[in-house]
Structure 1
Amino acid sequence: MTDKKEVGLFEDWLKRIVEHPLEAEKRRFIWEVMRSPFVEFHYSLLKDNSLDEQFRRDLMHRFNEHGEKAETLLLSKLDNGEDKDFQADMIFLLGKMSKKHKATTLAYARKFAESKNIYERDRAIIVLGWIGTMEDTHIFENHLLQDTDMHCRAWSASSFMQLWFKEESEMLKQKAFRVYKIALAAEKDYFVLSVILSAIREMGKTKLGISQTALDELDTEKIDASKVKALRFLDKALKS
Structure 2
Amino acid sequence: MADLFNKNAREAVEAMVQKPEFSKEALGEEYRKLEAEGFPDGDRIRFISALGNSGEIAYHYQLICKDWEEETQLFLENSFDCHGEEGLKFLWEKLRKMEEQEKRKRAFTAYLMAVCLSKLKHRTFYTSYCDCLAVFLTELLEKEGEAFLRSKLIIALGWVGSSKEIEVLIKQMHSDEDALCRAWSATSLMQMSFHRVNKAVLQEKIRAEFARAILEEKDAYACGLILESAQTIFGKKWITSSAIENIELEKIEKAKKSALRFLYTK
CA shift in 2, pair 1:167/1:42, >3 Å = same
- In structure 1, the residue matched to 2:66 is 48
- 1:161 equivalent among 187, 190, 199: 190
Alpha-carbon separation, structure 1, partners of 2:82 and 2:163: 29
- In structure 1, the residue matched to 2:95 is 78
CA shift in 2, pair 1:202/1:85, >3 Å = closer
Alpha-carbon separation, structure 2, partners of 1:30 and 1:184: 41
- 1:95 equivalent among 114, 119, 130: 114
CA shift in 2, pair 1:218/1:31, >3 Å = same
For residue 164 of structure 1, report the CA deviation from its aligned partner: 3.1
- Which one-letter code corresponds to 1:111 in the other structure? E
The count of aligned residue pairs is 229
Conserved? CA contact 1:147–1:153, under 8 Å: yes
3-state DSSP class of the match of 1:54? coil
Q: Is 1:111 aligned to residue 152 of structure 2?
A: no
For residue 17 of structure 1, report the CA deviation from its aligned partner: 1.0
3-state DSSP class of the match of 2:35? helix
For residue 66 of structure 1, report the CA deviation from its aligned partner: 1.0
- In structure 2, the residue matched to 1:199 is 229
For residue 211 of structure 1, report the CA deviation from its aligned partner: 2.6
User: What are the equivalent positions in structure 2 for 1:134-173 lying under 5 Å apart?
Assistant: 134-165=163-194, 166-169=197-200, 171-173=201-203
- In structure 1, the residue matched to 2:46 is 28
Alpha-carbon separation, structure 2, partners of 1:52 and 1:94: 19
For residue 144 of structure 1, report the CA deviation from its aligned partner: 0.8
Q: Is 1:233 aligned to residue 262 of structure 2?
A: yes
Conserved? CA contact 2:137–2:153, under 8 Å: yes
CA shift in 2, pair 1:110/1:177, >3 Å = same
- In structure 2, the residue matched to 1:131 is 160
Report sequence identity in percent.
Answer: 26
CA shift in 2, pair 1:204/1:23, >3 Å = closer
Structure 1: 5+ residue stretches without partners:
none
CA RMSD of aligned residues (A): 2.2
- In structure 2, the residue matched to 1:215 is 244
TM-score, structure 1 normalization: 0.86
Conserved? CA contact 2:220–2:247, under 8 Å: yes
For residue 147 of structure 1, report the CA deviation from its aligned partner: 0.4
- In structure 1, the residue matched to 2:77 is 60
Structure 2: 5+ residue stretches without partners:
1-21, 118-125
- In structure 1, the residue matched to 2:18 is none
Conserved? CA contact 1:121–1:152, under 8 Å: yes
Alpha-carbon separation, structure 2, partners of 1:85 and 1:128: 16
- Which one-letter code corresponds to 1:160 in the other structure? L
CA displacement, residues 182-215 of structure 1 (integer Å, 9 cap, x when unaligned): 111221222211221112212222222x334323
For residue 174 of structure 1, report the CA deviation from its aligned partner: 3.0
CA displacement, residues 131-182 of structure 1 (integer Å, 9 cap, x when unaligned): 212221221121111101122211111122222344122x431331211111
